[in-house]
Amino acid sequence: MNKKQIDTKWKKPKRFDRNLLVIGGGAAGLVTAYIASAVKAKVTLVEAHKMGGDCLNYGCVPSKTLIKSAKIAHQIRSAERYGFEKITPTLSFKKVMTRIQDVIRAIEPHDSVERYTELGVEVLCGRAKIIDPWRVEIHQDEGSPVTLTTRSMVLATGSHPVIPAIDGLDETGYLTSDTLWEEFSEREHLPKRLLILGGGPIGCELAQSFSRLGASVTQVELAPRILIREDEEISSQAQSFLERDGVDVLTAHRAIRCRIDGSRKFLVAEHGGVQKNIEFDDLICAVGRTPQLTGFGLEDLGIDTKQTLETNEYLATLYPNIFAAGDIVGHYQFTHTAAHQAWYAAVNALFGQFKKFKVDYRVIPRITFLDPEIASVGLNEAEAKRLGIDYEVSTYSMQELDRAITEGATDGMLKVLTAPGRDRILGATIVSEHAGESLAEITLAMKQGIGLNKLLGTIHAYPTWSEANKYVAGEWKRQHAPERVLKWLERYHSWRRGKDHG
C-alpha cells in the first residue's frame, strides 16, 4: 500500500505524540525501544503480559537453567569415569524448579519497566490496538485507556506454541514450553512418565533434561528424524545422545489421538501402518511456535494474519511506516535474531526517509543446547544441495582434540563447508561441549570475510575447545596442499643433504 492510498483512506495527524511506538516487550521490542531512546526519539513501549517476553519467562532462561541442573545430575552419575566412587544423585524436583524461578527473577531487572524507564522509554503495561497507521489505543492494566499518535510503529508481539489437532488432547491435558514452568513449579515430584511431542530443538532439549533428572521420557516425532534442519549425520548423533541418556526416541510416528482408560492416559501413535499405545502422566507439546498476529487490530488494516506477517527487505509491512521484528516475522525464531532485526526496524522506522537498510540474514548462528551442544552457522550440506551451491567439506573429530580428551567428552565433530578451491567459509556445524562458544569465532570470520587460512594462522590458547577451529582449518589446508611445490621442495631438501636429487 502506497502513501497516497494510506492518506486517502485515513486522516493523517498534523502532529504526532510519539516518534515511535513499539508493541511487545520481548527481545525485539526491548532492543527497538532502547535504540529509539538512545537516538533521542520519543518512544513508547506497550507490553500486555510480562516484560522480557518468551526468552526470559518461558524460553531461553528457564530451559538453560533446567539444562544445567540436568547436566549436574548426569555428571554426578558419571563420577566413576573421573576417579570417584559411584554416586547416585538425590533429586529435589521442587528445588530444581524453584531455582529456575530464582534465575528468572535475577535476570528480570535487565528487562524491567524500571530499567527501560531510566533509559528514556515510556513503558505502558496493557493491550494495544492499532486504530489506523498512526493511532494506537492502549487499554492499560492500571488507569484509563489512552490513544497515542505515532509517526511510525514496530510490531514485536512474538509467538506462541503450536497446539496440534489431536483428538482427545484437551481431555488428557497438555503442557507447552510456555506453561510447563509454572505448572511444574507447583509440584513436589518429577513426572514419572513424560511424553514429548516434537523433535525440534525445544523438544530435544526438554527430553534430554527431564530424562537426566530421572523421568521416563518418550519423544514422538512425525518426521523421519529429529532436528530435521541439520544434516543426517548430525541428526543421527543427536538421537544417539538422547537414547544414551534414556530417551525413547520414536521418529516417523504420527500422533493420532489421546485417550483415557480409568486413571491412565495414552497417546495412540501410528508407525508403518501399526498403531501403538504410549502411556504418559504428562504430555508436552513442542512441535513449533507460530507468530502472534491476532488481537491488536491488524485485521482491520487489511493485513493478512493467517500465517507469518509479511514484511519487505526493510522489515516494513503492508504499510511503509509500520515495521515488524522478532518471531512475528517468522524467518528465524531466535532471541539474537530478534535483536538483530530490531536494529533494522528501529533505524528504518526513524530514519528511513534519509536512508533505509536491508536486513542481513547471511550469517545467523543457531544452537541446540543438548549435551553435547549442536551449533551451526551459514549453510550445511543439505541446504547447499537444495540451493544448488557447490561446496567442499573439511571435518575434524573431537576425538583428536586434547581438551576434549582431558574432559572425557570426545563425542562430536566440526564440519566446515567452503567454496570450491577457496578458503571462504560457507557454513559450519560444531557438535561438542561448548559448541556455541566456539561457533562465535567462525560466525565472526564469516561476517568479516575471514577465510580458513587466517584462522589457521591465529594463535589459539592451549588446551581449549576453540582449537578445533584451527585444526579444521589445518584439515582444509592439507586437502589443498600445493603438490607440485611440495615435490619441488622434497627435491630441494634432498639436494641440501648432499644426495642425488635427479
In-domain check, residue 57:
no
- Report the predicted TM-score, pTM, of the whole model to 2 decimal places: 0.93
Q: Are residues 133 and 34 in the same domain?
A: yes
For the residues 465-477, what does the mean pLDDT come to? 96
Q: What is the pLDDT at residue 421?
A: 94
For the residues 404-422, what does the mean pLDDT come to? 97
Report how far residue 194's alpha carbon sits from residue 184's, in angstroms, rounded to the nearest whole number: 12
Q: Are residues 267 and 204 in the same domain?
A: yes
Q: What is the pLDDT at residue 500?
A: 54
Q: What is the pLDDT at residue 457?
A: 96
Tens digit of each residue's pLDDT (9 = 90 or more) over 340-391: 999 999 999 999 999 999 999 989 999 999 999 999 999 999 999 999 999 9
In-domain check, residue 364:
no
Q: At what angle do helices 60-77 and 201-213 cross, to 10 degrees?
A: 40
Q: Is the pLDDT of residue 270 over 80?
A: yes
In-domain check, residue 473:
yes
Q: What are the start-end ranges of the H helices in 214-262?
A: 232-244
Q: Are residues 126 and 210 in the same domain?
A: no
Last residue of a domain, one of 269, 288, 307: 288
Q: What is the pLDDT at residue 6?
A: 67
Q: Are residues 154 and 219 in the same domain?
A: no
Domain that holds residue 184: 169-288
Q: Is the pLDDT of residue 299 over 80?
A: yes
Tens digit of each residue's pLDDT (9 = 90 or more) over 88-121: 999 999 999 999 999 999 999 999 999 999 999 9
φ, ψ at 68 (rounded to 5°): -65, -45
Residue 2 pLDDT grade (very low, low, confident, very high; cuts 50, 70, 90): low
Beta strands in 206-294 (DSSP E): 216-220, 248-250, 254-261, 264-271, 274-280, 282-285, 289-291
Last residue of a domain, one of 246, 263, 288: 288
Q: Are residues 345 and 478 in the same domain?
A: no
Residue 290 pLDDT grade (very low, low, confident, very high; cuts 50, 70, 90): very high
Tens digit of each residue's pLDDT (9 = 90 or more) over 172-197: 999 999 999 999 999 999 999 999 99
In-domain check, residue 496:
no
Q: Are residues 174 and 221 in the same domain?
A: yes
Whether the Cβ atoms of residue 219 and residue 249 lie closer than 8 Å to each other = yes
Q: Are residues 399 and 427 in the same domain?
A: yes
| CATH code, domain carrying 233 | 3.50.50.60
Q: Are residues 268 and 199 in the same domain?
A: yes
Q: Is the pLDDT of residue 138 over 90?
A: yes
In-domain check, residue 181:
yes
Residue 489 pLDDT grade (very low, low, confident, very high; cuts 50, 70, 90): confident
Last residue of a domain, one of 266, 288, 310: 288
Bridge partners for 79 per DSSP: none
Mean pLDDT over each residue of the chain, to the nearest integer: 94
Q: Are residues 444 and 378 in the same domain?
A: yes
Residue 501 pLDDT grade (very low, low, confident, very high; cuts 50, 70, 90): very low
* Other Cβ atoms closer than 10 A to 314: 17
> Under DSSP, is residue 498 helix (H, G, I), strand (E, B) or coil?
coil
**Structural domain tally of the chain?**
3
For the residues 408-421, what does the mean pLDDT come to? 97
| CATH code, domain carrying 464 | 3.30.390.30
Q: Which three cell numbers stand for residue 260?
A: 483415557
Tens digit of each residue's pLDDT (9 = 90 or more) over 12-58: 999 999 999 999 999 999 999 999 999 999 999 999 999 999 999 99
Report how far residue 369's alpha carbon sits from residue 60's, in angstroms, rounded to the nearest whole number: 10
Beta strands in 380-419 (DSSP E): 392-397, 413-418
In-domain check, residue 62:
no
Q: Are residues 441 and 327 in the same domain?
A: no
Whether the Cβ atoms of residue 220 and residue 207 lie closer than 8 Å to each other = no
Residue 144 pLDDT grade (very low, low, confident, very high; cuts 50, 70, 90): confident
Q: Are residues 126 and 212 in the same domain?
A: no
Q: Are residues 118 and 195 in the same domain?
A: no
Nearest partner of 51 among 125, 121, 130, judged by Cα: 125
Q: What is the pLDDT at residue 141?
A: 86
For the residues 229-244, what does the mean pLDDT come to? 97
In-domain check, residue 491:
no
In-domain check, residue 377:
yes
Where is average pLDDT lowest: 188-197, 257-266, 433-442, 485-494? 485-494
Report how far residue 221's alpha carbon sits from residue 251's, in angstroms, rounded to the nearest whole number: 5
